[in-house]
Amino acid sequence: MARKFETYNGYRIVYNDTGARLLADDGRLANAETFDDLDAAKTWIDSHLDEQRGNRREPHIGTVEDYVAAIRNRGLNKNETAMIAAHARSEDYRMTAAELANAAGWKSANTANLRYGRVGKEVAEQLGLKIDESQDHAFARALGNFDPKTSQWELHPELVEALEQLEIA
């Protein structure tokens, strides 16, 4: 049987009649285990996500392990990597959208806000983070908190540690 692919709760599963594996966006293995079949892989994903949810300090913030897995699975393009690495290296992990745009090589703070939100949405969906979509900057809150007094984003420390483990920061 030919290999088939399916995306499930943010994980990419490759499977055939001999078993199933979890893949990251770049094609590398996201988990070393080989599962008996597609259903066994999905069961592991559900169990793993349930366990991780119990370790979160807030429902909209992932754990270090969550963020490591999400970034490995999703991947970041060159500009996103530059933006988020600069953010993780910044003083107190705080930057304005204009500073994020500059770090990524974009001309507009609006582009940084759009990309920050897009990455946040994909991470939140993959990790099953609880995001209140009625709030301003809803999905970006999966990555950091916005301070309206300073117009700065403050990266979650869990994400900073994940970026350090991935040698991005």
Of 113 and 51, the one with more pLDDT:
113
Residue range 110-134: average pLDDT?
Answer: 92
* pLDDT value of residue 61: 96
pTM: 0.75
Q: How far apart are CA 49 and CA 62, in angstroms?
A: 11
Least Cα distance to 140 among 158, 121, 125 occurs for: 121
Least Cα distance to 53 among 91, 95, 22, 9 occurs for: 9
Q: Token digits for 115?
A: 């990309």
Burial pattern 8-32, b for ≥16 Cβ within 10 A else e, equals eebbbbbbeeeebbbbbeeeeebbe
2-17 pLDDT, tens digit per residue, is 999 998 877 889 999 9
Q: How far apart are CA 125 and CA 95, in angstroms?
A: 24
40-82 pLDDT, tens digit per residue, is 999 998 888 787 778 899 999 999 989 998 898 888 999 999 9
